Structures are given as C-alpha cells and as structure tokens.
Chain A
Amino acid sequence: GAVVSQHPSWVICKSGTSVKIECRSLDFQATTMFWYRQFPKQSLMLMATSNEGSKATYEQGVEKDKFLINHASLTLSTLTVTSAHPEDSSFYICSARGQANQPQHFGDGTRLSIL
C-alpha cells in the first residue's frame, strides 16, 4: 500500500518551455502533498506544501509564480515549472500523506534537464 506515482520520470526541454509534473497517490487519499527539489548528492529541499482544495504554501525563496502547484483532488497534485531555464534543472520529488501524523510516501522523482 501507500504507492505514489510521479510522471514523467525524465524530461528534457528547451529553455523557455513550461513543464508539468504529476504526482498521484494510487491507493490512498492524499490530504497533503509536498514538493521537494534535490541537487546531486544533497538532501531534499522542501519547496511547497499543498493541501487538497487550498493554495499551496511555499517555502522562503521559492517563487510561487515560477513553480505553480495545483492540488485539485485527493489523489493528484501537479507542479508546473514555468518558462524553465537551465538553472531550473534538477531532480524534483513529490510526497503524499493521508491523515495527520502519518508518514510521507514519496514518488520516484522527475529529472528535469533544461537545455
């Protein structure tokens, strides 16, 4: 149980393109979803927290107009990197949890490369 699917797993696109990443909880309802960014050989950096039906809460230094998050249902959240540039290249990982005080379950991440 507690499977989180993230898609796509890998994307390469040109500078200026917008890229959408999907995060789905397959066998449970995700009240809260989290989006992280991870640089090579580093820890996970929380970008934003989203609750179903509410606006996402962004961490300090994360541009909300750059990284658009939608959590329209209890099983789907999306992260859109708008007008992506090479410095946005990274490994993006989502996680989801059901009720409060339950563990977060992670997707397998999306490797984004902007040329």
Chain B
Amino acid sequence: GENVEQHPSTLSVQEGDSAVIKCTYSDSASNYFPWYKQELGKGPQLIIDIRSNVGEKKDQRIAVTLNKTAKHFSLHITETQPEDSAVYFCAASPRNTGNQFYFGTGTSLTVIP
C-alpha cells in the first residue's frame, strides 16, 4: 500500500519568513495530493491540492510543488503570519483505492511574532 512520509515534524519560523514542508510517497498510482491545516481541537481543513498532471500550484501565500519522478511534493508558505501556526498534514490518494487518503505524520508549524 501507499506510504507517506512527512518532514519536519516540527518547524518554527519568524513571522514574515517562509516555511517549507516536504512529503514523499511510495505508490506511483497516487495522482492526487491535498494539504490540510489542523488547528487545535478542530478537524483538518483543505488549504491546497495538486493533481499529478501539474507540477506546481499557487494560491496567494501558499504553493505546492510536485515531482512525480522523485515521488515527492512540498508545501511552501511565504510571508508567514502567526495565524499560520497549526499542524499541517499532507496526503496522497492512489487512483485505484476509491480515493482513500494516506496521510503523512504531520508538521507542527509555529510562527513566532
């Protein structure tokens, strides 16, 4: 089955700096890669996603890149703000699993004011 690894597990950045979170996956059949933000005591919220037919997607301060050959994808947050502090999860979804998601282990991001 699919195996998703996520690094780093914790990340602290100064407000205004950029944050990068990286994930790798093992199943070449994965074709959909969402990123979720989870605040304390809440459910995960979708912040951006990318499909395997594109290499990069951007939405304001958030961008995701995908390297299918190397089987890794990354989340980039620019101009970080304190409200970006949360746990971020990547996920991979193989096309032959009924869109089941395989989640990474999460990254706790702290933005220091």
Contact = CB atoms under 8 A, between A and B. Distances in A.
A93 B103 CA distance: 14
A49 to B, nearest CB: 7
Given A43-B104, A43-B105, A43-B106, A106 B36 contact: yes
A105 B106 contact: no
A32 B101 CA distance: 12
Contacts of B100: 34, 46, 49
Interface residues of A, number: 24
A103 B89 contact: no
Interface string B17-39: 00000000000000010101000
A72 B100 CA distance: 20
Interface residues on B, range: 20 to 34
A106 B41 contact: no
B113 interface: no
B99 interface: yes
A41 to B, nearest CB: 8
A43 B99 contact: no
Contacts of A49: 98, 100
Contacts of B89: 43-44
Contact of B41 (A6, A34, A111): A111
Interface in B91-105: 98-101, 103-105
8 contacts: A43-B104, A43-B105, A97-B99, A104-B34, A108-B42, A109-B41, A109-B42, A111-B41
The 5 closest A-B pairs by CB, nearest first: A106-B43, A108-B43, A109-B43, A43-B103, A106-B44
Interface of A: 4, 6, 32, 34, 41-44, 46, 49, 93, 95, 97, 100-109, 111
Interface of B: 32, 34, 36, 41-46, 49, 89, 98-101, 103-106, 108
